[in-house]
Structure 1
Amino acid sequence: MPNYALCVDYDGSFFHGWQRQKQFTTVQGNLEKALATVLRSNPHTPLSVAGRTDTGVHALGMICNFKTEEPISNLHKMIVSLNALGGEGLGVRGATEVPQDFHSRFSCDAREYVYQIYNGKYERPHLKNRALWVKYPVDWDRILAEVPHLIGEKDFRSFAKSKSMEGKRAVREILSVQLEQDKEVPEIFKIRIRADGFMHNMVRITVGTLLDIGKGRWESRSIESILEEEDRSQAGITLPPHGLYFVRAYYKNFPQIHALYEPSFLK
């Protein structure tokens, strides 16, 4: 069966997360419904996905894949049709055929998220549901000093939702963490985290902890000491989902996926 990967953008404020739910509008539900219409004579398998996002979380390049009984002759036409049928807040930005053994989740080597923060005194309407508004002063230099302690393979149990981790392994490898300040709107800060995998709420708790440190909530507590505790109660708050973006999935053995992230008119 031919195997196809899609690169998908979505505005999380329109959806109750990625995963299909009978009573709610979800990204998977809308996309599979659109696929069923477009591929009526060519049944497809359920979508697999690189990362299941929660309600309100956005994506700038989520990778998912499905298999069909027959080849798809015109991928461009399929993308146009999916974008017309997928509903508001959802768009497919690229598609490609991939090898039979490709699986968007299990073949993925690393995932990258960005959490966007607006650190300003007054509200910016265009950032509603796009960034976390932080009204208090933040010591970004102190946050930057804490970032290196997150890098590497560690037990991140302190930075994951407790109920979801009962009896589960909590070791992950964070490959990079970057603090970026927007050049056009200097009050916007982005914390970019790439890892081999993430636990439930891990990015939102990690960034929440960094913000708590940056606003001077703790004098003696640090990322290093919180990691050593292996206790969720020692870390910071879980930030709301609307500032979080799934940015990219990485696949070392599948270069055709990287091409999906390139600007379409430059391919």
Structure 2
Amino acid sequence: MPNYALCVEYDGARFHGWQRQKTSKSVQGSIENAFKTILRTNPHTHLTVAGRTDTGVHSLGMICNFKTENPLPNLHKLIVSLNALTDEGVVIRRAMEVPPEFHARFSCTSREYIYQLYYSKYQSVLQENRSFWVKHRVDWDKIAEEIPNLLGERDFRSFTKARSSKGRRAVRRIQSLSIERDAFIPEIYRIRIRANGFMHNMVRITVGTLLDIGKGRWESRSIESILEEADRTRAGVTLPPYGLYFVQAHYQEYPEIQSLYDTLYP
């Protein structure tokens, strides 16, 4: 069966997460409902996704794939049709045919997120549901000093929901983590993180912990000590979902997937 990949952008504030739900609006449900109208000969098209985001989390380029009984000769027409039928807040940016064995989740070798912060004494109406407002002074140099301690393969049990890690392996490898400042809106800071996988709420807790350290709330606690204790109560707060953005899925064995991003992020 032909296999196709989509690159999807969505506003998480408008949906109850990616995964289809019975009574709430989801990104997956919105796209699959559109498929029912477009692909009448195959109304049960199911989307497989690189990463299921929670309610409120945004996406700049989520990768998902689906298979059909018949080839789709005009992908431009497919994108236009899908975007006309999906709910407001979700857009298909690109589409391409991929090898039959490609799987958006299991073929993915790493995932990349950013958490966006608005660092200002006063809030911004334009950043509502887009950035987390940080109104207290932060020592960004102190945060930068702690970042190397998060890199590499570590047990991140302290940085996920306690019930999510109970009885489960919590080892992940963070490949890169950096702080970026917006060139045009200097109040906006972005913490970019890439790993081979993430525990539930791991990014939001990690950034919350780094902020607590930067605010000087802990004198006797560090990233190293928090990791060693493997105790969720020792880490920082879980930041709200609206500052979190899924940026990109990486596929080592499928370099062609990069072309779905190339025109989006030149």
Quickly name the TM-score band, shorter chain normalised: over 0.9
Partner of 2:152: 152
Partner of 1:200: 200
Which whole-Å deviations, capped at 9, do the CAs of 1:178-207 have from their partners, x for residues lacking one? 100111111110000000000100000000
Distance 2:43 2:87 in 1: 21
User: Which residue identity is paired with 2:128?
Assistant: K
Partner of 2:216: 216
Distance 2:46 2:168 in 1: 26
Asked if residue 134 in structure 1 is aligned to residue 134 in structure 2, the reply is yes
Partner of 1:100: 100
> What is the TM-score when the length of structure 1 is the normalising length?
0.97
Give 1:165 deviation, angstroms: 1.2
Distance 1:169 1:44 in 2: 34
Partner of 1:125: 125
Matches within 5 A, 1:24-103: 24-103=24-103
Gapped regions of structure 1 (runs ≥ 5): none
Give 1:45 deviation, angstroms: 3.4
Distance 1:100 1:44 in 2: 18
Instruction: Confirm or deny: 8 A CA contact 2:35 2:45 kept in the other structure.
Output: no
Give 1:264 deviation, angstroms: 6.4
Distance 2:265 2:30 in 1: 27
Distance 1:90 1:169 in 2: 33
Partner of 1:257: 257
Distance 1:265 1:208 in 2: 27
Distance 1:250 1:149 in 2: 23
Distance 1:265 1:159 in 2: 30
Which whole-Å deviations, capped at 9, do the CAs of 1:52-89 have from their partners, x for residues lacking one? 00000000000000100000010000000111111110
What SS does the aligned partner of 1:92 have?
strand
Distance 2:6 2:86 in 1: 13
Gapped regions of structure 2 (runs ≥ 5): none
Distance 1:236 1:184 in 2: 30
Return closer, same or farther for 1:265/1:109 CA change in 2, 3 Å cut-off: closer
Matches within 5 A, 1:228-247: 228-247=228-247
What SS does the aligned partner of 1:211 have?
helix
Give 1:174 deviation, angstroms: 0.2
Return closer, same or farther for 1:172/1:264 CA change in 2, 3 Å cut-off: closer
Which whole-Å deviations, capped at 9, do the CAs of 1:112-170 have from their partners, x for residues lacking one? 00000001011211111000001111111100110000000010100011111111100
What SS does the aligned partner of 2:5 have?
strand
Give 1:8 deviation, angstroms: 0.2
Partner of 1:175: 175
The number of residues matched between the two structures is: 266
Distance 1:189 1:66 in 2: 35
Distance 1:39 1:142 in 2: 54
Q: Among the aligned pairs, what percent are the same residue? A: 66
Distance 2:120 2:158 in 1: 29
What SS does the aligned partner of 2:261 have?
coil
Instruction: Confirm or deny: 8 A CA contact 2:112 2:246 kept in the other structure.
Output: yes
User: Which residue identity is paired with 2:150?
Assistant: L
Instruction: Confirm or deny: 8 A CA contact 2:37 2:43 kept in the other structure.
Output: no
Instruction: Confirm or deny: 8 A CA contact 2:5 2:98 kept in the other structure.
Output: yes
What SS does the aligned partner of 1:261 have?
helix
Partner of 1:9: 9
